[in-house]
Amino acid sequence: MPRQPREPDLLLLHAPSVYDFRDRAILYGPVSDMVPSSTVFEMYPLGFLTIASYLHAQGMSARIVNLALRMMNDRRFDVPAFIARQRPRAVGIDLHWLPHAHGALEVARIVKEIHPDVPVIMGGLSSTYFHRELIDYPQVDFVLRGDSTEPPLHQLLVALRDGAPLDGIPNLTWKDAGGVHVNPHGYVPTTLDYVDIRPDLMIEMMARYRDLESTLPFNGWWRNPIAAVFTVKGCAYECVTCGSSRTTCTHLTQRQRPVFRSPESLVANVQAFARLTRGPIALIGDLRQAGPDHASEVLERLRAAELPNEIMFELFGVPPARFLQEIDRCVPHWSIEFSPESHDQAVRDAQEGEADYTTGEMEEMLREALRLRCERLDVFFMIGLPAQTVESVRGTVDYCERLFQLGDKRLSCFISPMGPFIDPGSRGFEEPERFGYRLFARTLEEHRQLLVQPTWEHILNYETKWMTRRELVDATYEAARRLNELKMQYGRISQRRGRRVAAGIAEASALRARLDAQMARGGDAAGDPALKGEISRFSMSTVCDKRELFWRARLNNFRITEALRIMGRQLAGRASRGHGG
Ligand code: SF4
């Protein structure tokens, strides 16, 4: 059996949402339309890159393999055979987003079956929430809890290598013959500067393992190399359905308030990406959460850096006009992503706990951004919120028309269902009755089983006092149809693209009716081979064309010379250390 060129200290595997998605016929619906990845949720968490960078800095090696992407792009890609060829010292699997409950556990099972002596480590927010349940699965050896696990993970790998005791490793849940142990949650950093995302490491991994595809974050990334620089962990806001809200973090990650990285470290990371790509760079998190001085210093440093890339700013609330003017003064190419979730003040108040802005103030802010040089203004709305009725969803689409009437094509609107799951640990999950939710799953195992239901109506883990699951699905398709028509009418998308989206929505609705009828007759729709390919076609880009989310394609997205320089450095390193291929 051919061996891989080097044995990583840690092999990081990203599983698809549902492991055997290629053999199933499930109408996942538009649950991933608003993120770059598909319903397979092939995008791996940023934590993979921070872990790889941290271990690298400590003299250890890590390899990222995006199994989900490999499985999507090659129907014959054989996961067990691939895993059998690897010789890692440990395997890490993310269960950060709960929609991976099925795939992550199945990949862990396969790893354990093939390499029974290799430790399997799980991590991510969902792993943290379900750590007691997760550790009971025979294929899971360790769970690292919290949202900052790089140093504890390094300690664990060293301890496993040296056979040292494990009871002093913070944030670790583990088991031995004596039972399950939950070490104290002792690692909660007060700054994020201890770790970075090194974009050059991705290129190095590609060169070292002679594998271009496995490290890519999501399908189509070559064409749309959006770079993400995280600015914060945790959040000061209290959105009811969010697994990163202040209350949730207090319980889940033991973080009393959000933690930031310094402006210096943040902008240095942006510059590192800009050396490699000409594509947009998204700053994840609202800069203003760390205070006005922090935000001003970031902007001043960006100004001094004189980057040609578009910088995307995320806004959690409505900033004063002078903040946008500051951005405009400091950053030549910028865009905004803003998620009010609903146009309806009552719904926003129910979701955000007295939203700190009115709809009128929000509109003022949008006008100001358009008055300035903002190159792109994406406004996101959501279906499935507390206090939101079918009528309110219709009102949101009417409001989108009102925004389109501002007459500026830089502004775009999107609407999608919250799904498939309300976040575990969120206030809505913990106190469903209080916020008007009804949950269909509480445990990890129940969520794993939901993921293989035949249609997304049955996959959703919630409904609300105001909309049943059926109504949530109906409202989604209706809103999608109307918004698509408005986008054509106001020239936001071409007629051709709009007609294609409309046809997709109509066919997805028809397919849903067929599956419902089949289920009503007691048939196993998910196992129907005749529906396999047909269904996956309508599970992607249903309510909008995913390309609307992407930036205009640039022929030359990458700084090829920089990539070659990194690859050359890696190959030279291998030659000098005598590592064969
Ligand atoms: S959804 Fe709300 S609570 Fe969650 S990260 Fe965004 S602003 Fe913060």
pLDDT at 444 over 80: yes
Does any ligand 1 atom lie closer than 6 A to the CB of residue 441? no
Does any ligand 1 atom lie closer than 6 A to the CB of residue 134? no
- Average the pLDDT over each of 224-233, 245-254, 533-542 and give the range with the smallest value: 533-542
Query: Which atom of ligand 1 sits closest to the CA of residue 244?
Result: 4
pLDDT for 578 equals 35
- Closest CA to ligand 1's atom 2: 239
Residue 569 is which amino acid?
Answer: R
Instruction: Report the greatest alpha carbon distance in the chain.
Output: 67
Residue 89 is which amino acid?
Answer: R
Q: What is the Å distance from ligand 1's center to 260 Cα?
A: 15
pLDDT per residue as tens digits for the range 172-189:
999 999 999 999 999 999
Q: Which tokens go with 260?
A: 């930031």
Q: What is the Å distance from ligand 1's center to 293 Cα?
A: 22
Q: How large is the average pLDDT for residues 467-480? A: 94
Q: How far is CA 471 from the centre of its chain?
A: 26
- Closest CA to ligand 1's atom 3: 245
pLDDT per residue as tens digits for the range 36-65:
567 788 889 889 999 999 999 999 999 999
Q: Which tokens go with 20?
A: 């055997």
Does any ligand 1 atom lie closer than 6 A to the CB of residue 235? yes
More confident residue, 560 or 500: 500
- To test the ligand 1 pocket, which listed residue (245, 248, 382) has its Cβ within 8 A of the most ligand atoms? 245
Q: What is the Å distance from ligand 1's center to 52 Cα?
A: 27
For residue 317, the number of C-alpha atoms closer than 13 Å in the C-beta half-sphere is 19
- To test the ligand 1 pocket, which listed residue (288, 313, 316) has its Cβ within 8 A of the most ligand atoms? 316
pLDDT per residue as tens digits for the range 356-395:
899 999 999 999 999 999 999 999 999 999 999 999 999 9
Q: What is the Å distance from ligand 1's center to 89 Cα?
A: 37
8 Å CB contact between 449 and 276: no
pTM: 0.89
Q: How large is the average pLDDT for residues 321-345? A: 96
Give the C-alpha distances (Å, rounded to integers) separating 164 from 51, 122, 214: 21, 20, 33
Does any ligand 1 atom lie closer than 6 A to the CB of residue 426? no
Q: What is the Å distance from ligand 1's center to 240 Cα?
A: 9
Angstrom distance (rounded) from CA 416 to CA 413: 10
Does any ligand 1 atom lie closer than 6 A to the CB of residue 237? yes
Q: What is the Å distance from ligand 1's center to 428 Cα?
A: 13
Query: Which atom of ligand 1 sits closest to the CA of residue 236?
Result: 8
Question: For the packed helices 321-330 and 359-371, what is the interaxial angle rounded to 10 degrees?
Answer: 20
**Strand intervals (E) in 98-223:** 120-123, 142-144, 172-176, 179-182
